Structure 1
């Protein structure tokens, strides 16, 4: 199986979230795996969120990737299309102050949530030379699709992802969709699809395979 990233060596990762908890839900296991790679660095950006919710995301980032940097923009939840210019500016600002990334993690371009969708559309216009992986977020809209790339997760990594979601995002525990069965079940399903116990799945619009 050919890898789209070098098998060894340091990387720089940019991880983008429309809301606090998007990253941990959509690609928390992948981030845990990348964080274990020697010399690899990460820059996180969350575009919406109240101060309390952003503090949850800050705590989660410290657990997922100690030493990562987190930036919070504070735009209103559910209204990002109205703030297109501010979102675009926040992405360009991050690009200017961080190293060019090897991989960018961002929600899907066709996500049913307008905030996710806008971020997924804009990220490839800012980072044109990185591998852009669009992660998925389960929701009541039922918009899960057929992924084109999988990251197998060791069992301990999958369980650690679930622990971080429970430990760091207490504000979400009252939602009927927020539980281990939701997030663990999706990782198990994606694992079946790539012959692993657990996995996270991504959508790739364009990739370059360097031979």
Structure 2
């Protein structure tokens, strides 16, 4: 197992199809980012109430950094039908600069909105490290991942507490509970010899000496 550090990361673009995607998938990584980091937080869909939840959540998860919000209101579940608009959202984020790290959905995600956003990220951010995250869901699309972010017991529990605090609109969903979030984190932690972890896929990287 090869280790590399994100300690030098100073700029991040976080792409989400829906409010709560980024926090569910990468909330532990957000909590682990170094102080002073700048995050461009980009959402493709979301009604005003849900966008308010996302703003509050991102501010809490990134309390040690600076967050710039880029929130859009394309229709949930219909991003492939709005391909041009979705591509422009991703390319507009890429025009902000060359970030050290990009967080995006997995390209093999079963949800069409996630899958489209993930595929567009890979082409728009050619000179950045792109880490594709996973989101547990009814479709059962979890698969083998290549990259892990270990989390301590405290970080894992803090992530879940913030999810509950900032996304009250989702609490009625039958999958929204500690066992789902911490169960997946425990399995991913086992895979990288940590208590908890988040898992990602990096599809292309370059080794330099």
TM-score by length of 1: 0.94
In the alignment, which residue of structure 2 is the partner of 1:76? Answer: 75
Q: Match for 1:49 among 43, 46, 49?
A: 46
Could you give the per-residue CA deviations for residues 140-173 of structure 1, whole angstroms, max 9, x where no partner exists? 1110000000000111111111011000000000
Preserved contact between residue 9 and residue 100 of structure 2 (Cα < 8 Å) = no
Counterparts of 1:84 and 1:176, CA distance in 2: 31
Q: Match for 1:195 among 176, 193, 196?
A: 193
Provide the secondary structure at the position in 1 that maps to 2:27: helix
In the alignment, which residue of structure 1 is the partner of 2:58? Answer: 61
Root-mean-square deviation over aligned CA pairs? 1.3
Provide the secondary structure at the position in 1 that maps to 2:194: coil
Q: CA deviation at 1:41?
A: 1.5
Q: List alignment gaps of at least 5 residues for structure 2.
A: none
Q: Match for 1:128 among 126, 134, 152?
A: 126
Q: CA deviation at 1:185?
A: 0.6
Misfit runs of 4+, over 6 Å: none
Q: List alignment gaps of at least 5 residues for structure 1.
A: none
Provide the aligned length of Structure 1 versus Structure 2: 207
Trace 1:167-182 onto structure 2 (pairs within 5 A): 167-182=165-180
TM-score by length of 2: 0.95
Deviates more, 1:152-161 or 1:109-118: 152-161
Could you give the per-residue CA deviations for residues 169-195 of structure 1, whole angstroms, max 9, x where no partner exists? 000000000011110110011000000
